[in-house]
A and B are shown apart, each in its own frame.
Chain A
Amino acid sequence: MVAKERGAKIIHVDPRFTRTSALANTYVPIRAGTDIAFLGGIVRYILENELDFREYVLAYTNAASIVSEDFRDTEDLDGLFSGYDPETGVYDPTTWQYEGQEAAVQDRDPVMERETAMPLQHESHGPGVSGRVRRDETLQHPRCVYQILKRHYDRYTPEMVERICGIPPEKFADVARAWTENSGRERTTALAYAVGWTQHATGAQNIRTGAIIQLLLGNVGRPGGGIMAFRGHASIQGSTDIPTLFNLLPGYLPMPNAKLHETYDDWVTSICHPEQKGFWYHAPAYCASLMKAYWGDAATPENDFCYEYMPRINGDHGIYKQVLDMIDGKIKGYLLFGQNPAVGSINGRAQRLGMANLDWLVVRDLFMIESATFWQNSQEVETGEIVPEECRTEVFFLPAASHVEKEGTFTQTQRLLQWREKALDPPNDARSDLWFIYHLGRIIKEKLAGSTLRRDRPIRDVAWDYPLHGEYAEPSAEAVLREINGYSLETGQTLRTFGQYRDDGTTVGGCWIYCGVFADGVNQAARRRPGKEQTWVAPEWGWAWPGNRRVLYNRASADPEGRPWSERKAYLWWNEETGCWDGYDEPDFERTKPPTYRPGPEAEGTEALAGDDPFIMQGDGKGWLYAPSGLIDGPMPTHYEPPESPVRNQLYGQQANPARKVYDRPENTTHPSPPEPNVEVYPYVFTVARLTEHHTAGGMSRFVEHLAELQPEMFFEVSPELAAERGLTHLGWGHVITARGCVEGKVLVTDRLTPLRIADRIVHQVWMPYHWGPSGWSTGDSTNDLFTMVLDPNVLIQEGKAGTCDVQAGRRPHGPDLLEYLREYRRRAGIEEFHHTPIITTDAAEASHRCGRTDDGGA
């Protein structure tokens, strides 16, 4: 709103007209799951009209880099890139490499990479790419990234955008014009998305398309630019920095892999890539300091810092695989911290059936949420699939403190850590998560104190010593933050920058990117100097990683010679007199490295970064318009239809993402999509999202009267056109049906929804909020029950925003009749017994496989 008041134009792209649309300058409706087609159209508009910020693009991106001559595009292979293996359903990325570097990925195991979501592990350090790349600065070489990009997006015309997304060409032109005209030397445009955008089978590539546009227009590393994720919770950024993910360790260090990282050296070398540029070169120091934080005195250089204690991953341990493993009886126990998968996770029925087949389940939450009560009150109890008297899972409910009842930090989307004070004591037996984890660890440690078993050594040796205070022995959150920051074992002083981390075991540091948050022994995250008492960058409000830098890659805010691109957008500049970078922000660059610096031929790591390489975490120092490796499903984003779609892909024979992760099982049936028959059984598109009034799965809002009454019951929204087609009336009952479940609610017939014209037919979209479940003040069916588990292959995130369904007036059947009702639908769709989703819908798979194999000569 402040940006708008200051003259910014807000463009809002969403399947629904929301409160945000109401306040935006332009509203653009779109069919759910077609973002790459829309953004690809913008890429084409930029390249066709040569509207890219050419000096920026040439100097700071890989536009000029030459790609292997064995590479084949989706243009050539009907929607597949070269290297696709129809047997395993993944790509061999050899042919995607820069010319002459094809061997760089030879030892890779693409199947393992998808199983373990390895691209997520590459989130910031990038896969191995040499800094020495052949370039054509004229951008004319047919195999330079610029030309490849141009050919790849040539099909994404405004007419095609309309056929796929339903966006009228005039409206598309407005957006394309506004975005490009507002970018360049003098102006920048920001791209903001809510994290629902990531919840697609092409989730990572959605964001990649946005990144391509922002790089082409010079909107990265500059004030007012960037790509901002609006997080769904207060500290989602924090929970990837210090992760709650199976394949990552703090600071984006990868979780060791049983097959690939047998020794400490294997693990560390795989991160620092000795031959490449950038700050990952110092990974040995980050790793050693983390191990010292875990195992304290027990971790020494001689014993590889207790590397043998580290758990290893050997496949897909993501949440959806785990749930299926629960159903199969492979998992015995489950701890839930402030999470309500019985409502919040997709395919809720599978979630609940999995939780009903455990030995024990611990739920820590503010209220008695559905994940603690599914065994006595759920749709499965209604249908008889779960019998409360027979459910074997022993559930332990432990009351948890809320965010105002404990201290700690939140890390928001700008990587800003903000300290929260405790406002009041938690009631009764409610305790903080920190309290619970600390004392659980302490008790387990005490129980194992006398054990001589080797397997107990990691717990016996773990460093678990924090100052306690108060009546209930609450651990000090500041002491934890201090450990995360890191300190020297020799002096006991806290470290100021991660450059002080050592690989010889003389420093302790829990998360290298957070180093500096406790600089000088002061909690920097607790700084609250008002904005008007400091510069507009406000460096003294909280603390941002890394090194309190507010804009990442801000070297790009100056031209290659180190001068601001324009006075208006000045942010960082090279000061010849003092020999260092000056500006409003901390330089995200070596402070005294001049713009003219050029590395020698043997230089490695940070030394290999030239004075005009702003993307200091990339192996070649450049922003990637084209990703030679690191992504499972292709070097460039390509429009694929969602895994369930009522229409055929208009661009290629390949219908959906060919590398997506599917779990074809009876409890996870996927609908037929073109070119399969019976698509008309589930003819409509549905998407789910939140209401402002409720919080995610409702654990914090449906149980509070003053919040519950604001949106008092489950409803879903349809356009007047769809209402007429299905006989739905405003405030009447209706229900939505998929192969997985059926959800009823009151119908809101509203002008805020519109049908779309997609490929010469009308497509209706249904919008549903997903907050409800059978518990709390306000109750209702859980919308996420409708989805099937199909995942993005890069990071294993679910397709949770676009599916197909049918809609009917009236209430759904209740009790065992419901199962028969769903079965009847599946029967009509021809998927009653089992549905094997066809992954490849083109004849080009063999050709792609051939192209990918270098042993038969490639092309």
Chain B
Amino acid sequence: MVAHEPRTVPTETDLRDERLIRENRIFGPLDPAPEAGYGMDAPPRMGFFTDTSVCIGCKACEVACKEWNNVPETGLDLLGMSYDNTGDLTANSWRHVAFIEQPVSREKLAERGTATGGQAGKETPAFEGLPTSRVAAPDMAARAATTGKETGTRPGVPPSPEPGAAVEMATEFLGMPSTVLPGQLPGGERTDFRWLMMSDVCKHCTHAGCLDVCPTGALFRTEFGTVVVQEDICNGCGYCISGCPYGVIDQRVGDGRAWKCTLCYDRLKDGMMPACAKACPTESIQYGPLDELRERAARRLDHLHDIGETGARLYGNDPSDGVGGDGAFFLLLDEPEVYGLPPDPVVPTKDLPAMWRTAGRAALAMAAAVAVAFLGRRP
């Protein structure tokens, strides 16, 4: 991939356009709070910009979130996925720091078009000139794929049904043939190495699948444009789980209700910063009006490209993507798949108009058939 031009993202003011809001009610770019009934005087849309290029993997965000929101512990399970013992976003983990540990070769990254993938500014490969002989990453991936975690939630963090895929992933980044069986180490020396860290969170989509399918109205759009579950209304039907294109939302076993990041709605209402952003020591998690965050992110991306981090990209910042852009978006150093994120998420309700149209046509056809049947009986 060549260095791309900084993308001009429409501002929130552009998106707060009545015509746009009317037209894009189901799909496409818009500012969600006015559409949800707060009117044109709604406060500016607030969100997160998570810059993974400065994440140090300290997990302070996970702990601050749990402390503030009184989220239960998820239990003691060593997952063997590098330093990640949380596993995933669940009803009991609303921030999740992913650790991606990979021996990579800069040539292979370049061939793949990623150029640096988090290696920009690295003077020399980490293990060059050392007596290394094997790589552990595929083995680690294979073993980690078999470790589920009992989090007290569903679907929670189940073992991967496809350990082979994890191994394939690990070997791909080594530039090796991906036919290695789990548990089998490929040969070859490792010289270069990267350890990516990323704090994941609910994306607070512009078109939120979870919210669209919620039959009780427990999930609602706040005046800040965020998406929140009301715990006293949720009846535990679980439709939202399949509605989320990112696999974020999850149910607590026992109470059955769905829980996820609220973007600290209670703090926002008091003009405070969400707990995770407040606790982040490196400002990897930034909170603010989405408008400003997008500008900041574009500047940051330019800077990273300037210093040679050409693999850097924004994820979820584009209002014209499949979910109308995320309220919580990210700066990644490689492709989203590397971090376990879907490359092209689409809100399932995108097809709703088409489905209704199809259903409508079917209904019309049915009605016509019935009519014909009745008419047909009259000679």
Which A positions have Cβ atoms within 8 angstroms of B? Answer: 1, 5, 9, 17, 19-23, 25-27, 29, 166, 168-171, 174, 178, 691-693, 705-713, 715, 719-721, 723-724, 729-731, 746, 748-752, 754-757, 762, 777-778
Minimum CB–CB distance from B146 to chain A (whole Å) comes to: 9
- Identify which of residues 94-125 in chain B touch chain A, using a CB-to-CB cut-off of 8 Å: 101-103, 121-124
The distance in angstroms between the C-alpha atoms of A705 and B197, with both chains bound, is 23
The distance in angstroms between the C-alpha atoms of A692 and B57, with both chains bound, is 9
Instruction: Return 16 A-B CB contacts under 8 Å, by A number.
Output: A1-B54, A9-B121, A17-B126, A21-B195, A22-B197, A25-B122, A26-B122, A166-B130, A171-B124, A692-B58, A706-B63, A710-B85, A713-B76, A720-B136, A730-B139, A751-B193
**Neighbouring A residues of B133 by C-beta, 8 Å:** 720-721
The distance in angstroms between the C-alpha atoms of A717 and B186, with both chains bound, is 20
**Neighbouring B residues of A724 by C-beta, 8 Å:** 134
A171 touches B101 (CB 8 A): no
**Neighbouring B residues of A168 by C-beta, 8 Å:** 128-130
**Neighbouring A residues of B131 by C-beta, 8 Å:** 721, 754-757, 762
The distance in angstroms between the C-alpha atoms of A748 and B196, with both chains bound, is 18
A705 touches B73 (CB 8 A): yes
Across the A-B interface, give the 3 residue pairs with the lowest CB-CB distance, nearest first.
Answer: A168-B129, A712-B76, A705-B73
Q: B67 in the interface, Cβ–Cβ < 8 Å?
A: yes
**Neighbouring A residues of B132 by C-beta, 8 Å:** 719, 721, 754-755
- Residue from B83, B130, B144 within 8 A of A711 (CB atoms): B83
**Neighbouring A residues of B282 by C-beta, 8 Å:** 1
Encoded as 1 (CB less than 8 Å from any A CB) or 0, chain B from 189 to 217 comes to 01001111100000000000000000000
A170 touches B101 (CB 8 A): no
B85 touches A170 (CB 8 A): no
The distance in angstroms between the C-alpha atoms of A279 and B297, with both chains bound, is 52
The distance in angstroms between the C-alpha atoms of A748 and B80, with both chains bound, is 7
A754 touches B127 (CB 8 A): yes
The distance in angstroms between the C-alpha atoms of A719 and B194, with both chains bound, is 15
A22 touches B80 (CB 8 A): no
Max chain B CB contacts within 10 Å: which of A1, A29, A707?
A1
Minimum CB–CB distance from B86 to chain A (whole Å) comes to: 7
Interface size on B, residues (CB 8 A): 52
Residue of B nearest to A757 (CB): B131
Minimum CB–CB distance from A194 to chain B (whole Å) comes to: 15
The distance in angstroms between the C-alpha atoms of A730 and B138, with both chains bound, is 11
Minimum CB–CB distance from A158 to chain B (whole Å) comes to: 12
Q: B222 in the interface, Cβ–Cβ < 8 Å?
A: no
The distance in angstroms between the C-alpha atoms of A1 and B85, with both chains bound, is 25
Residue of A nearest to B53 (CB): A23
Minimum CB–CB distance from A568 to chain B (whole Å) comes to: 22
Given contacts A706-B66, A751-B193, contact A720 B134 (CB under 8 A): yes
Given contacts A17-B193, A22-B197, A749-B136, 18 further A-B contacts (CB under 8 A): A1-B54, A1-B56, A174-B124, A693-B83, A712-B75, A720-B135, A720-B185, A721-B131, A721-B132, A721-B134, A746-B78, A746-B80, A748-B80, A752-B195, A754-B132, A755-B131, A755-B132, A762-B131
**Neighbouring B residues of A705 by C-beta, 8 Å:** 73
Residue of B nearest to A724 (CB): B134
**Neighbouring A residues of B59 by C-beta, 8 Å:** 692-693, 710
**Neighbouring B residues of A720 by C-beta, 8 Å:** 133-136, 139, 185
B76 touches A777 (CB 8 A): yes
Given contacts A17-B195, A712-B76, A720-B139, contact A750 B101 (CB under 8 A): yes
The distance in angstroms between the C-alpha atoms of A178 and B127, with both chains bound, is 19
B130 touches A755 (CB 8 A): yes
The distance in angstroms between the C-alpha atoms of A564 and B183, with both chains bound, is 62
**Neighbouring B residues of A729 by C-beta, 8 Å:** 139, 143
Given contacts A22-B194, A777-B76, contact A29 B130 (CB under 8 A): yes
- Residue from B78, B129, B144 within 8 A of A712 (CB atoms): B78
B76 touches A730 (CB 8 A): no
Minimum CB–CB distance from A709 to chain B (whole Å) comes to: 5
- Residue from A707, A708, A746, A751 within 8 A of B103 (CB atoms): A751
Residue of A nearest to B93 (CB): A709
A731 touches B80 (CB 8 A): yes
Residue of A nearest to B132 (CB): A754
**Neighbouring B residues of A730 by C-beta, 8 Å:** 80, 136, 139-140, 143-144
B140 touches A749 (CB 8 A): yes
Residue of A nearest to B143 (CB): A730
Q: B231 in the interface, Cβ–Cβ < 8 Å?
A: no
**Neighbouring A residues of B85 by C-beta, 8 Å:** 709-712
Max chain B CB contacts within 10 Å: which of A29, A169, A705, A750?
A750
- Residue from B67, B86, B197 within 8 A of A19 (CB atoms): B197
**Neighbouring B residues of A691 by C-beta, 8 Å:** 83
The distance in angstroms between the C-alpha atoms of A838 and B6, with both chains bound, is 67
A9 touches B123 (CB 8 A): yes
Minimum CB–CB distance from B231 to chain A (whole Å) comes to: 20
Residue of B nearest to A778 (CB): B76
**Neighbouring A residues of B130 by C-beta, 8 Å:** 29, 166, 168, 754-757
Minimum CB–CB distance from B138 to chain A (whole Å) comes to: 10
**Neighbouring B residues of A710 by C-beta, 8 Å:** 59, 62-63, 85-86
The distance in angstroms between the C-alpha atoms of A333 and B57, with both chains bound, is 42
Minimum CB–CB distance from B303 to chain A (whole Å) comes to: 9
Residue of B nearest to A755 (CB): B131
B195 touches A26 (CB 8 A): no
Residue of A nearest to B126 (CB): A27
B80 touches A751 (CB 8 A): no
Q: B230 in the interface, Cβ–Cβ < 8 Å?
A: no
A23 touches B56 (CB 8 A): yes
Residue of A nearest to B282 (CB): A1
Q: B349 in the interface, Cβ–Cβ < 8 Å?
A: no
The distance in angstroms between the C-alpha atoms of A822 and B152, with both chains bound, is 41
Max chain A CB contacts within 10 Å: which of B63, B102, B124, B136?
B136
Minimum CB–CB distance from B51 to chain A (whole Å) comes to: 11
**Neighbouring B residues of A754 by C-beta, 8 Å:** 127, 130-132
Minimum CB–CB distance from A5 to chain B (whole Å) comes to: 8
**Neighbouring A residues of B58 by C-beta, 8 Å:** 19, 692
**Neighbouring A residues of B62 by C-beta, 8 Å:** 706, 710
Q: B74 in the interface, Cβ–Cβ < 8 Å?
A: yes
Minimum CB–CB distance from A162 to chain B (whole Å) comes to: 9
Residue of A nearest to B185 (CB): A720
**Neighbouring B residues of A709 by C-beta, 8 Å:** 73-76, 85-86
The distance in angstroms between the C-alpha atoms of A724 and B127, with both chains bound, is 19
Minimum CB–CB distance from A563 to chain B (whole Å) comes to: 34
The distance in angstroms between the C-alpha atoms of A715 and B140, with both chains bound, is 14
- Residue from A23, A170, A778 within 8 A of B128 (CB atoms): A170
Max chain A CB contacts within 10 Å: which of B59, B131, B133?
B131
A171 touches B128 (CB 8 A): yes
- Residue from B57, B77, B137, B143 within 8 A of A751 (CB atoms): B137
Q: B147 in the interface, Cβ–Cβ < 8 Å?
A: yes
The distance in angstroms between the C-alpha atoms of A170 and B127, with both chains bound, is 12
**Neighbouring A residues of B124 by C-beta, 8 Å:** 26, 170-171, 174
The distance in angstroms between the C-alpha atoms of A749 and B128, with both chains bound, is 19
Minimum CB–CB distance from B297 to chain A (whole Å) comes to: 15
**Neighbouring B residues of A706 by C-beta, 8 Å:** 62-63, 66-67, 73
**Neighbouring B residues of A693 by C-beta, 8 Å:** 59, 83
The distance in angstroms between the C-alpha atoms of A730 and B86, with both chains bound, is 18
Minimum CB–CB distance from B116 to chain A (whole Å) comes to: 13
Minimum CB–CB distance from B217 to chain A (whole Å) comes to: 31
The distance in angstroms between the C-alpha atoms of A755 and B133, with both chains bound, is 9
Minimum CB–CB distance from B98 to chain A (whole Å) comes to: 13
B74 touches A171 (CB 8 A): no
The distance in angstroms between the C-alpha atoms of A22 and B119, with both chains bound, is 9
Minimum CB–CB distance from A28 to chain B (whole Å) comes to: 9
Given contacts A22-B197, A692-B58, A751-B193, contact A708 B76 (CB under 8 A): yes
B143 touches A731 (CB 8 A): yes
- Residue from A21, A170, A731, A750 within 8 A of B126 (CB atoms): A21
The distance in angstroms between the C-alpha atoms of A166 and B129, with both chains bound, is 10
Residue of B nearest to A23 (CB): B56
B140 touches A750 (CB 8 A): yes
